[in-house]
Chains A and B, each alone.
Chain A
């Protein structure tokens, strides 16, 4: 019986609406007050049934719920024969709950889309060698599975044979196809766009990266900040307190109408739902865009970050030096390059690698009498020529003639932060190459967006030498850059920033060997590419190591934090408004109170939903204007 009534809540609501309409028609059109009274009373009783049942169920487990307040209020209104109010209040309460459910489902839709990407079946190789479709839960580690074009990869595994491109959007938020061939790792929940592959299952069920992400996101949505826990506790005592106040008011004033009005006005409504709604929508948006934000506490701290620390040059640069400029100073250029390449081929130095890559095909000659000058370069005899390859210090040592033009070039390129490779043949400078670690595409733009979002300090702590670090720093306009840093130096630096300078620090690392810093910083951001360590040890995860997600993540955190504040303001404002109404005005009654409550609940949900559509572009532009 109970379940029948609860299951038909929507029908009951509709019947209530019809009865209320009939009641008003008979009162206003036919002037039949008695018939109107009966119809409205019927609407109240029918509508109150599911509410009363919910109130009773809650009471059984010692929870004084909103339903109880409404049930008592309706009963009170019936007692004083105010059928109009009782009918409208029950209807509004049911209708509000109905709309809440609809809109709440929307705010949760982003995560739902994600969970729906979970694979359900797999083609598993049976003992007879045939592949058969089985439920994904029947796959064990070590099983061999066949994945066809368009199918979801059922578990984390390694490709045994075949080739294909995979859409890894469910893991990385990036839908560029990734080529997979023998030996490649594939992830559950990603989709094979074309090709056919056989894989061996490495991790199944809850151990797959996909399941871990889902679990993390689900936990994050329901993780509660201190403020929320406070509101929860508050709500638990608030509702009984309202009931008590209602009773006290009745005992002193003997005014039942006033007492039941207070019960309705006191419903906590928007206050309880406002913050979780912002949270779920914000985290949902992130999950869809390859950004995991681990809960509302993280969102709050992240939104206040004023200092972002990068853990190494490699986060910002491509990681392999290359030649950015080359100059020739007369003579046979082809011959000079061939001599240079021959000497560099003898060396294992990273600069030599960059130079060789730049020269490409060249005639390699026999190199004799090689002498390595530490920290300067190499001298050798090649094809009857005396060749010196190295930096300006080597040229000085070798007493090479350097023209005014070359001197100016050297000074300029050094100032720009390049490492120089100079080739001199028989005492004359012939080739000058400037080598530099190049900045990753898009990094500059991302950093300037971070600044627009209010980050004041951009700091790089790197294990590289100070010269390289300075060059990168200059090019990107970082606030501070320190080279030769060991992991413990990095964490000491972060501690100093937090404790002495009072900064709110986010640390961007790869989550592998910098866990002390990740833990120390207010916000640890892992550019993980989906590795377990990164996912678990940090507060924010950029799923595909894509630097451009960082501004989106920060912008989203700020928008979500703002959204929560707005919702709290709406909720508290409504309660204050209603309280003022009941004390100072004549027109305040149960129906208006209930209406305002339901509107405020919808307002906070709709406000939260805006976060689902959050994109940085607009945001950054608006703030820079």
Chain B
């Protein structure tokens, strides 16, 4: 299990946060309970199973919604 912190472009509406949360939770291998979208700092924090997907897959899912991923940290 790894922890990822993904910085996205500035979020401006709370529904953007909801969208991202929904999209990330839908990915297989992401710990659903751990997903938190920090609206004000525009960050997504989550735990995921590195055996099932890579952080790039999560980035792709966020980018598909139209939000640019600035950088992500995994530990």
Contacts and interface: CB of A to CB of B under 8 A. Distances in A.
Nearest to A64: B15
A326 interface: no
B54 interface: no
B56 to A, nearest CB: 18
Which 7 residue pairs across A and B have the least CB separation, nearest first? Answer: A61-B22, A218-B41, A221-B40, A222-B38, A101-B12, A6-B66, A65-B15
A219 B43 CA distance: 10
Interface stretch (A103-111, A190-198, A250-258): A103-111
B23 interface: yes
A125 to B, nearest CB: 26
17 contacts: A53-B66, A58-B19, A61-B26, A63-B22, A65-B18, A66-B13, A100-B13, A108-B40, A108-B41, A218-B38, A222-B36, A222-B38, A222-B40, A235-B14, A272-B15, A273-B14, A276-B40
Contact of A104 (B12, B22, B64): B12
Contacts of B22: 58, 61-63
Contacts of B43: 218
Nearest to B12: A101
A166 interface: no
Interface in B33-66: 36, 38-41, 43, 64-66
B10 A105 contact: yes
B40 A111 contact: yes
Interface centre among B10, B14, B36, B43 (most CB of A within 10 A): B14
A57 B65 contact: yes
Given A61-B26, A105-B10, A219 B38 contact: yes
Contacts of A367: none
Nearest to A273: B14
Interface in A235-256: 235-236
Interface string A95-121: 001001100110010010000000000
A273 B23 contact: no
Contacts of A272: 13-15
Interface string A275-319: 010011000000000000000000000000000000000000000
B19 A57 contact: yes
B41 A111 contact: yes
Contacts of A104: 10, 12
A61 B19 contact: yes
A232 interface: yes
Interface centre among B10, B15, B23, B43 (most CB of A within 10 A): B15
Nearest to A54: B66
B66 A280 contact: no
Contact of A218 (B18, B19, B40): B40
A3 interface: yes
Nearest to B22: A61
Contacts of B19: 57-58, 61, 63, 65
Contacts of B38: 218-219, 221-222
A2 interface: yes
A105 B42 CA distance: 11
Given A101-B10, A111-B40, 15 more contacts: A2-B66, A53-B66, A57-B19, A62-B22, A65-B19, A97-B13, A104-B12, A108-B40, A108-B41, A219-B38, A222-B41, A235-B15, A272-B13, A272-B15, A273-B14
A218 B7 CA distance: 12
A6 B40 CA distance: 21
A99 B13 CA distance: 12
A101 B36 CA distance: 21
Contacts of B26: 61
A62 B26 CA distance: 10
A236 B19 CA distance: 11
Contacts of B66: 2-3, 6, 53-54, 57
Nearest to A68: B15
Nearest to A214: B41
Contacts of A97: 12-13
Contacts of A235: 14-15
The listed residue with most B CB atoms (<10 A of its CB), out of A3, A53, A222, A236, is A222
Given A54-B66, A57-B66, A63 B18 contact: yes
Most interface-central of A58, A97, A100 (chain B CB within 10 A): A58
Interface string A1-32: 01100100000000000000000000000000
